[in-house]
Structure 1
């Protein structure tokens, strides 16, 4: 349970509940469909998680004018139970934070008991249609020390009007510019994601706005057809310019020594071929 503060939307669970609700709402889904999806966050919740869940859910419902008496009663019950307040006061030894949380809950209760007179409308977000690169593009670029690296555009993510490019990290490094075959025959950084042992590939993420000015730093050398099941990100690093992008690749001398046999280490190298259809 990741909790950052005492506000209604201040925990990982609350963020997931609220933003899942609103993303589906903005996508045009019916309230019934949204409710069924959000209910999946209610599995095996303890008392604190239940408070985080139901308050975030109620806030979303209230904002769109769909808060009914049943959910309102659940909020009243969970506030009286005081699970999070007790957790902060007793388990965390932070009575002052507990009192602040109670104030937040009291204000929240006063708010949602009244009809919302300014309902949140469904929002439409602009989709970026003129992409810098396409998913599956294989690119070569030169590091500040003169060595060449390669990257594969694993995924283009468009969410709430933001467009981001997720570049996978092949271990190719050479004084010579990579060819498409060099990259195909190389390895790639990834991580095993438990509990289902799914493979996620480590990526460098950069926004469309930040990629545009540095696009000429990359040379398009080919294209791979990537399996949809392989478009799963593991460890993610953010970049805002070419310097920060390249710095992610600068410690490859250490990274490429990690082999599949190093089962105790979460990062591993895999064949690039595992990406391909």
Structure 2
């Protein structure tokens, strides 16, 4: 796991812990449930002395940040700080152990008192109704022609609504059918194990593109993994993904049908099964 610096939240593990706790807290989840989920992963994080230090200090800081640090985790983190920064820091960055200790000493002062400005939970408004569902197949009308994509995931929490749209390589003059979709190719890993064709839109940005999108069917997916999550907000982002050069971006073209277990709905043929 990458370590970018000596600060308390300055590594992949630190960010994972911090974001898990703060984001789920802001979504309104029970703090004890969140904490138990993070504690259940302790063995996966604490693989050696260095990563144990990162885990417990990041956990303590994250709980302090939201105003729910309990005595047990506070004392665990303070004991680690008192024992001193791991000598392994000098192997991560040259002569970094002293700098890390300064960050730990600052944390100790924070942990010994309550956070005067804990993060607040977001005010949850009425949840939005998604425009599309997972498995929907969509025609894309662009200046360059028509493309096609499918909704690989809809990510909804009380504070956000995001859509993952996987574009196939189809680009033609006429509106695509489900047959066109199933005969198309899609970007995938060189071993074919996961897709590399995903575009990621938030609810607000996708609303602007709705006049260019039309549902033409729905499928049930065969098992697959998403190997890439690319943020997007404009119609041109679809075209760029559809026409990306495999040699430049290091992917292979795979039959789209490989990722489809069944066609549930075909708008043109009025098929529902």
TM-score if structure 2 supplies the norm length?
0.78
Give deviations 1:168-207, integer Å, cap 9, x for gaps.
Answer: 12232333331122113333333489xxx96456311122
Q: 1:125 to 1:103 in 2, by over 3 A?
A: farther
CA distance in 2, matches of 1:208, 1:25: 22
Equivalent in 46, 50, 53 of residue 55 of structure 2: 53
Given that 1:127 and 1:158 are in contact with CA atoms closer than 8 Å, whether structure 2 keeps it comes out as no
Which of 145, 148, 156 is 2:146 aligned to? 148
Query: Does residue 70 of structure 2 align to residue 68 of structure 1?
Result: yes
- Which residue of structure 2 aligns with residue 239 of structure 1? 232
Pair 174,129 (structure 1): closer, same or farther in 2 beyond 3 Å? same
User: Closer, same or farther in 2 for the Cα pair 1:160/1:56, shift >3 Å?
Assistant: farther
Q: Aligned with 2:187: secondary structure? A: strand
Aligned equivalents of 2:26, 2:202: Cα separation in 1: 22
Q: Is the 8 A contact 2:167 2:238 kept in 1?
A: no
- Structure 1: which 5+ runs fail to align? 259-264
Q: Is the contact made by 2:122 and 2:159 (CA closer than 8 Å) also made in structure 1?
A: no
Contact 2:196 2:228 in 1 (8 A): yes
Number of paired residues? 259
The superposition leaves residues 64-113 of structure 1 with CA deviations (integer Å, 9 ceiling, x where unpaired) of 444333322321232244445x34434421x3x54433222111100111
TM-score by length of 1: 0.77
Tell me how far 1:151 sits from its aligned partner: 1.0
Q: How does 1:192-211 map to 2 (within 5 A)?
A: 199-200=194-195, 202-211=197-206
Task: Check conservation: 2:151, 2:163, Cα contact below 8 A.
Answer: yes
Paired residues of 2:220 and 2:261 also in contact (CA < 8 A): yes
